[in-house]
Amino acid sequence: MTDVIDLRSDTVTRPTRAMLDAMASATQGDDARDGDPTVRDLEALAAFRTGKAAALFLPSGTMANLIAVLVHAPRGSEIVMEAGSHTLVSEVGGLSALAGTLPRPLPGRRGAMDYDRLREVIRRPGIGRDRAGTGLIHLETSHNQAGGAVLPLAHLAAVRDLADRHGVPVHIDGARLFNAAVALGVEAAVIAQHADSVCFCLSKGLSAPAGSMLCGREDFIEIARGYRRMLGGGMRQIGALAAAGIVALEQMVDRLADDHATARQLAEGLASLDPALVDPAAVETNLVRVDVSRSPIDAQAWATALASRGIRAGAYGDARQLRLVTHRHVDPAAIERVLEAVRSLLASH
């Protein structure tokens, strides 16, 4: 049987041979007790790559975002974020249920919140006469809901300047931070300089088996380490996972450009089959949103039909979209198979 092409997410990536070799020879220290040298090396490398003073290894990006809120924002304060932010729509309300903060969603365009609205709602931290102050400005790049869109550096700089004038910290959810950096042609630190803290995932396009990094000032990370313990994120013999993370940062960043190229190949191919399906100009990284609203079948039916043709895809949102995510297991030949499957599906309806 022909191998299945899995486009549901870049989290399906498997560790490389180099990662497995590094994992086999990794240290076995107890990171939650005495620390582990390989974990410390990974944290130092993550801090260096983001231009921050320190970093913390965490099980997931969701925990990283929650801890950032816990450290930065007083309970009862507002977290200002773009309305489609992953933390708001896909992290099960942790910023309210666990951090005791209030989301303040703002409209945005391609993941960038409306700057004029931000200027209207931002307040100094603390309790005002009629509303809570702003505890944190939360940004996301690349932006999942916006189809992998990358926040412009000028937007980041403007938000940072406004935040500084009001004494409000900034956090960047950079689950796919290195995708954003590659798309902009800059180092990740150029993006991260506009935030007090930033997180990124090792387990997406970078292909490590698990883990995320939270980066910031030394005092911020020291407090974050305590919250990691509180939330049950203190792991034990994780040198093997850290070893894979080091390989991910040393060897897997530059090749993300290949994933962006296959995403563009996919988008252009789909548009040639039916221009209503996708706008190739909107594809900046490795996410392709496919609009099936004009199709006689909904997104879930599309996903089922594609699965019967050996293509795994995810129905997304309100049953009018598919999300297709390219990664290192999807080469140009695989994209041609996907396009042939879509061509067959369109012909059958």
Domain ranges, ordered by start, for the chain? 5-12+255-347, 17-251
How far is it, in rounded angstroms, from Cα 278 to Cα 23? 40
- Three-point CA angle 236, 66, 51, nearest 5°: 80
pLDDT at 127 (0 to 100): 64
pLDDT at 130 (0 to 100): 63
Helix intervals (H) in the chain: 17-24, 37-50, 61-72, 86-89, 94-97, 115-121, 153-166, 177-184, 188-192, 218-230, 239-251, 256-273, 299-307, 332-347
How far is it, in rounded angstroms, from Cα 329 to Cα 306? 18
How far is it, in rounded angstroms, from Cα 281 to Cα 93? 33
Please check whether residue 161 is in contact with residue 118, taking contact to mean a CB–CB distance below 8 angstroms.
no
pLDDT at 272 (0 to 100): 97
Cα within 13 Å of Cα(238), Cβ side? 27
**Which residue has 């939650």 as its token pair?**
32
CATH code for the structural domain at 17-251? 3.40.640.10
Q: How many CB atoms lie within 10 A of CB 194?
A: 21
Q: How many CB atoms lie within 10 A of CB 55?
A: 26
Helix axes 17-24, 239-251, angle to 10 degrees: 150
Q: Which residues contact 281 (CB under 8 A, 6 or more apart)?
A: none
pLDDT in tens, the chain (349 residues): 358 999 999 999 999 999 999 999 998 888 888 889 999 999 999 999 999 999 999 999 999 999 999 999 999 999 999 999 999 999 999 999 999 999 999 999 999 999 999 999 999 887 665 678 999 999 999 999 999 999 999 999 999 999 999 999 999 999 999 999 999 999 999 999 999 999 999 999 999 999 999 999 999 999 999 999 999 998 888 999 999 999 999 999 999 999 999 999 999 999 999 999 999 999 999 999 999 999 888 899 999 999 999 999 988 866 789 999 999 999 999 999 999 999 999 988 7
Across the chain, how many H-helices and E-strands are there?
Answer: 14, 14
Please tell me whether the overall predicted TM-score, pTM, comes out greater than 0.85 for this model. yes
Closest CA to 77 of 92, 93, 99: 99
DSSP string of 57-81?
A: EES-HHHHHHHHHHHHS-TT-EEEE
One of 2.60.40.3950, 3.40.50.10680, 3.90.1150.10, 3.40.640.10 is the CATH number of 5-12+255-347, namely 3.90.1150.10
pLDDT at 1 (0 to 100): 39
